[in-house]
Amino acid sequence: MNLKKMQIVFGLVLVLSLILSACTPETVTVVEEVEVPVEVEVEVPVEKEVFVEKQTVIYNSMNGDPDPRAADEEIVKRFMEANPDTEVIHSIVAHEDFKTAIRAYLTASTPPDVLTWFAGNRARFFIDNDQIMDISDVWESEGWNESYPKGFQAMSTVDGAQYFLPTSWYWWAVYYRVSVFEELGLEVPETWDEFLAVNETLKENGYTPIAIGTKYRWTAAAWFDYLNMRINGPQFHIDLMLGKESYDDPRVAEVFKYWRVLLDNGYFLEDAAAYSWSEALEPFIAGEAAMYLMGDFIRDSLPDEVEADLDFFRFPIIDPSMPIGEDAPTDGYFLSANAANPEAAKAFLAYLGSVEVQTYNAETLGRLPTNSGVDRSLFTESQQKGMELIDGADFVAQFYDRDTTPEMADEGMNAFMAFWDDPDSIETLLADLEAARQEIFLEE
């Protein structure tokens, strides 16, 4: 008797869940089809009544590190002081979490209005999927078409319209401890042979030549980027990133031959996979490791006395006949295509792209501004040197995981780590990567 009743209840549950599950996909599409402006019309008047004409802008950023966080909050504060009728609701989410959550933000019924993001392929993906608002009018009214260099304009433009606001960028280079180089009488290496000689001298004298922490893998991707650009040229590199060249090309195998020399000679920090990039700074700060291939944000995490002992040089030239490519990732902002309050959001965006904010960021964080209206004489010596480094490049790439698709980057970086562990397996690894490339880029 009891069993029978249980069966009936279970049967009911099953039937109900089937019905519900059959409904779910449809309800989802219904939600997507609802036009957001309808909701806005309902919401805005209510808020107006409450706040008396106060407009709101929802701003989500990924400036989680201490210094950038403080700067970000300061900028929002200043904007609200200058525009008392606008309220900016600001939330900061850590970098990795932000990357994970952004698709959920954008597809929510009330997405954030202004978001931080990466220029290039990563932004292009959202533009192609109609998630980013056309902000050509802001570019026009703010005069950015004149005040932003051509390269940054091109980066933000798709089919003649602007969608992105690049605000800051930084360069990659080989950072080194000046005192260690001086002690051993080392010169800054310009060619590959000189670079190997520097490594050997450092190693003989008991130093770890190159610090690196590969727990989150992207630090190794920087080595791939540079070796590939130096050996095969930036054009081949970027074509590989876009899926137009294949990973089983002998030119790619060549990259790993060079890489392997560094691994076989033990020039990299031991047990690199156990450290994050900042944990691997420890021996660099202690003066036990001499060099670190890193972006300029390395400064944010160094104590002042180490920063005073820090300099950088261009990744050594391998094939002098190749044009020079550099990694210089650009960060910026975009407006969500479904922003609830486009006018206020555009006003905030205009402020973010202004000379005032970019000057503030350049001064406090040492990032390089994109707006050429910023007074260059304010730059520190290292900023000047970084600008020269990039000015001297024939091609500027973003970074491995920004230039190629997230999926391909994941496969690639895993292969780099497997190669690091077992360099003999490179042939199979590249064959696997090629299979992954064909699948990933065929799908798109």
- Told to check if 406 binds other proteins by CB under 8 A, we report yes
Query: Between residues 152 and 416, which has the closer beta carbon with respect to other proteins?
Result: 416
Q: How far is CA 341 from CA 58, 118, 165, in A?
A: 9, 23, 18
Select from 260, 294, 287, 195 the least CA-distant residue to 427. Answer: 260
Instruction: Give least dist CB 5 to other proteins, A.
Output: 9
Q: How far is the CB of 272 from other proteins (least distance, A)?
A: 7
Sheet with 55-61, strands from edge to edge, namely: 86-92, 55-61, 114-118, 330-335, 165-169, 368-369
- The span from the first CA to the last CA of the chain, in angstroms, equals 57
Instruction: Pick between residue 220 and residue 396 the one whose CB is nearest to other proteins.
Output: 220
Q: Give the x-and-dash track for 120-159 against other proteins (CB under 8 A).
A: ------x--x-x----------------------------
- The DSSP letter of residue 231 is H
Q: How many residues does the chain have?
A: 444
For 393-436, give the DSSP string: -SEEE--HHHHS-HHHHHHHHHHHHHHHH-GGGHHHHHHHHHHH
How many of the chain's residues bind other proteins (CB under 8 A)? 43
> Which span (19-27, 163-171, 222-230, 363-371) binds other proteins, by CB under 8 A?
19-27
The contacts of residue 220 (CB under 8 Å, 6+ apart) are 212, 214, 413, 416, 417, 420
Question: Is residue 332 within 8 Å of residue 168, measured between CB atoms?
Answer: yes
Shortest approach of other proteins to residue 25 CB, angstroms?
6
Residues of this chain, 291-330, that bind other proteins according to CB under 8 A: none
Which span sits near other proteins by CB under 8 A: 20-28, 161-169, 254-262, 318-326?
20-28
270 binds other proteins (CB under 8 A): yes
432 binds other proteins (CB under 8 A): yes
DSSP codes, 263-321: HHTT-BPTTGGGS-TTTTHHHHHTTSEEEEEEEGGGGGGS-HHHHTTEEEEPPPBS-TT
> CA-CA distance, 105 to 97, in Å (whole number)?
12
Of 330, 270, 328, 280, nearest to 302 (Cα)? Answer: 280
Helix pair 406-421, 218-241: axis angle to 10 deg: 130
Give whole-number Cα distances, 438 to 224, 248, 444, in Å. 20, 11, 10
Of 105 and 360, which has the nearer Cβ to other proteins?
Answer: 105
Q: Does position 216 bind other proteins by CB under 8 A? A: yes
Residue 144 beta carbon to other proteins: minimum distance, rounded to whole angstroms: 27
Q: Which stretch binds other proteins (CB under 8 A): 97-105, 195-203, 247-255, 310-318?
A: 97-105
- Tell whether residue 273 is a contact of other proteins (CB under 8 A): yes
Is 274 a residue that touches other proteins (CB under 8 A)?
Answer: yes
Return the number of the residue (158 or 322) whose C-beta is nearest other proteins. Answer: 158
Part of the chain binding other proteins (CB under 8 A), chosen from 62-70, 95-103, 259-267, 348-356: 95-103
Rule CB under 8 A: say whether 438 interacts with other proteins: no
Q: Find the part of the chain contacting other proteins (CB under 8 A) among 176-184, 244-252, 350-358, 402-410.
A: 402-410
218 forms part of the interface with other proteins (CB under 8 A): no
**What DSSP designation does 378 have?**
G
- Give the integer Cα–Cα distance in Å for 133 and 115: 11
Quick one: 421 or 427, whose CB is closer to other proteins? 421
As given in the structure block, the two tokens for residue 181 are: 């180089």
The binding site for other proteins (CB under 8 A) comprises: 9, 13, 16-18, 20-21, 24-25, 29, 32, 99-100, 103-104, 106-107, 126, 129, 131, 214-217, 270-274, 282, 406-407, 410, 414-415, 417-418, 420-422, 432, 439, 443
